[in-house]
A and B are shown apart, each in its own frame.
Chain A
């Protein structure tokens, strides 16, 4: 939905992804979401500003501390994997394809063996978890991080489609297994 382009020196650039309008419309129709309420307000800037003020006030009144955001336990909480779910099968197959292609890429191995090993070890570990009874959000993030490295390395090459396909499959898997709590945030994931 939102594409964030980073730069080594310049500030991040936020823009609409190709699916922005579709995702934005879906969120607006999701009753109970902040997006839906914003739409009900007539997409009122005043309503949104009020809500943001309220968030600020709650931050102070609740005595929010950095430790409240650490969230380590939930990041590593084991989530049962439904091995019969198509999203699981797709994620495993997509990651296996990426691993196979990277392993067989002699040029990558010759030019950047350490990066190649770093990526492969991460993805192989995630694959093992995907085939086990449970996985944590931390492993999903690890997979996305490693795929992002590959995405940069193989941008514009024949491997790009495979990498994008794996990312999509991981996101689908995460949506299916990590529930509504993360759903809104997963919808923001894009790889423009």
Chain B
């Protein structure tokens, strides 16, 4: 996999992660609540994080789908 393919595909997996939460929960979620469904602990620092926390990927998704934001 090269960078271009990664940049194209990674946002789709983030979208899938969000959709899976909504499909299972059938209720509204805040962004923070969705992120917390996919927790990750930094092995070096022990800091709690999320597997969908890469702002570059989220930004790419948001930029491409920015018009999805509700009025």
Contact = CB atoms under 8 A, between A and B. Distances in A.
A58 B54 contact: no
Contacts, number: 146
Interface residues of B, number: 47
A43 B56 contact: no
Contacts of B8: 181
B24 to A, nearest CB: 8
B68 A35 contact: no
Q: Report whether over half of chain B's contact residues are helix, strand or loop; otherwise say mixed.
A: helix
A6 B70 contact: yes
Contacts of A16: 22-23, 26
A27 B16 CA distance: 10
Interface residues of A, number: 56
Interface of B: 1-3, 6-23, 26-32, 34, 38, 40, 51-52, 54, 56-57, 59-61, 64-71
Interface of A: 1-6, 11-16, 20-21, 24, 27, 33-35, 38, 43, 45, 48-49, 51-53, 55-56, 58-59, 62, 64, 66, 68-69, 71, 141, 144-145, 147-148, 151-152, 155, 167, 181-182, 184-186, 188-192
Given A2-B68, A45-B20, 14 more contacts: A14-B28, A15-B27, A20-B22, A34-B13, A48-B16, A48-B38, A49-B51, A56-B51, A59-B54, A64-B7, A148-B67, A185-B11, A188-B15, A191-B70
